[in-house]
Structure 1
Amino acid sequence: MFGRRRKRGRHSAGGVDAGLENDEFLDDAEGPWDSTVAPKDDVQRLDLGSVLLPMPDEAQLQVEMDQQTGAVRAVHILTPVGQLTVSAFAAPKSGGLWKEVGAELIVGLKEDGARINRENGEWGEEITARNQGVQILFVGIDGPRWMLRGVAAGPEEHFAQNAEALREMIRGTVVVRGEQPMPPRTPLPVELPEAIARQIQQG
């Protein structure tokens, strides 16, 4: 479905240590990577400015726009088995933002009536929610001054395939944090490739 599969690395042990430099956060043979240590490989990635995403086969893009500002809020990847969304946010140098965000996410999902499951995954804690035939996987990774959040949503019967598609996308993702200071939790800006932006304007 994607480019080269990479073996599992140190992320399988959980989160990251506080106060580490970029190459100490993400020094594996698999991603996600900070742009300062990203590999020079042959994987084709969709350039969204703050994130570079490897695209699965038979994928379509769904762009979510802010109606007031006209800015791109999110880009969703639609596949035959569900929807994938990978977003990057500013985070403290010490890391640990996903633990806070995940706890808040669980509270909100329970209030919506979802059944929650928490388990240790490839990069630390993963959260699964089930509600009215839909199953959603939330994955978070703390990087150097950024946090990456991946979401796979779709019918319960396709959950395993959809979840693996998300993990494979995350393994090949590159995050471009930039040097500008941002408050923690600020979404890193999403920029569409010129051809896609032109299609949206014409539409």
Structure 2
Amino acid sequence: MFGLGRRRRGAQPVEDEEPFEAVEPGGGPHDSAEAPPDDVERLDLGSVRLPVPEGGQLQVEVDPTGPVRAVHLVTPVGRLTVSAFAAPRSSELWPEVSAELAEQLRKDGARVHTEQGDWGEELVADSPKAALRFVGVDGPRWLLRGVAAGPADHAAECTSTLYAVLNETVVVRGDEPLPVRTPLPIELPEEIVRHIQQAQAQEDGGGQAPPQA
């Protein structure tokens, strides 16, 4: 997985005075304070509430020490990853982060260019393993990053699915002061936690683990 980008040396937490208003095409993603009273079914992961595309499956990366590292939505056209990070109150973080990501991707051997998408400038990368698209949305004290990864011949469909997910995502920033770029914590529903524990117990016992949640 690619990281959010390298922190600049000497970077400090930022709590600015004047908030800015991010452009939200189509209405989303939504801050939890202004989430619409709709009937969209979302998976509650603590810091983000995600709609799951039809035919999508949840894939969870768990750190060996316990915390959830990432949650992916595996769809028939590719894998989607949506993550939220702490951000400044009065300036955009995505332009800086996307420039660092582009540099990192090129060092990893990918061909990278930018395109204008639904929420501004996006990164598009072709790597030996997959076609990648990185979308960033700056919100009130948060940055939401979406990544679409899949075969090149499904890139357009994968991008469209990512847009649909981002447009209906709700970000729960919370009031806790956090250093800029800190990943907002992911909390799994109890049912999924039990499923992971059962799978790990079967693996430890030499049995065959059940399919992914």
Task: Name the TM-score, length of structure 1 as normaliser.
Answer: 0.86
Shift of 1:19: 3.3
Provide structure 2 residue ranges, at least 5 long, that are not aligned to the other structure.
Answer: 1-16, 200-213
Say if 2:177 is the partner of 1:181. Answer: yes
In structure 2, the residue corresponding to 1:200 is in which secondary structure?
helix
Deviation at 1:26, TM superposition (A): 6.2
Q: In 2, Cα distance between the equivalents of 1:194 and 1:95?
A: 36
- Identity level (%): 58
> Post-superposition, which runs of at least 4 consecutive aligned residues in structure 1 deviate over 6 A?
none
**CA shift for structure 1 position 116:** 0.8
Matched residue, 1:63: 60
Matches within 5 A, 1:39-58: 39-58=36-55
- The match for 2:81 among 63, 81, 85 is 85
Distance in 2 of aligned mates of 1:27 and 1:129: 24
Structure 1 counterpart of 2:205: none
Aligned partner of 1:19 in structure 2 is 18
Per-residue CA shift, 1:46-88, capped at 9, x if unaligned? 0000000011011111100111x21001100001111000000
- Counterpart position of 1:145: 141
Structure 1 runs not aligned, ≥5 long: 1-17
Cα offset, 1:195, TM superposition: 0.4
Is the 8 Å Cα contact of residues 38 and 174 (structure 1) preserved in structure 2? yes
Q: Aligned partners of 1:122 and 1:131: how far apart in 2?
A: 23
CA RMSD of aligned residues (A): 1.5
- 2: distance between equivalents of 1:114 and 1:27? 29
Distance in structure 1 (CA, Å) of the matches to 2:131 and 2:24 = 32
Conserved? CA contact 2:26–2:167, under 8 Å: no
The residue identity in structure 2 corresponding to 1:140 is G
Number of matched pairs = 183
Larger of the two Rg values belongs to structure? 2
Candidates 147, 154, 157, aligned match of 1:158: 154
SS at match of 1:86: strand
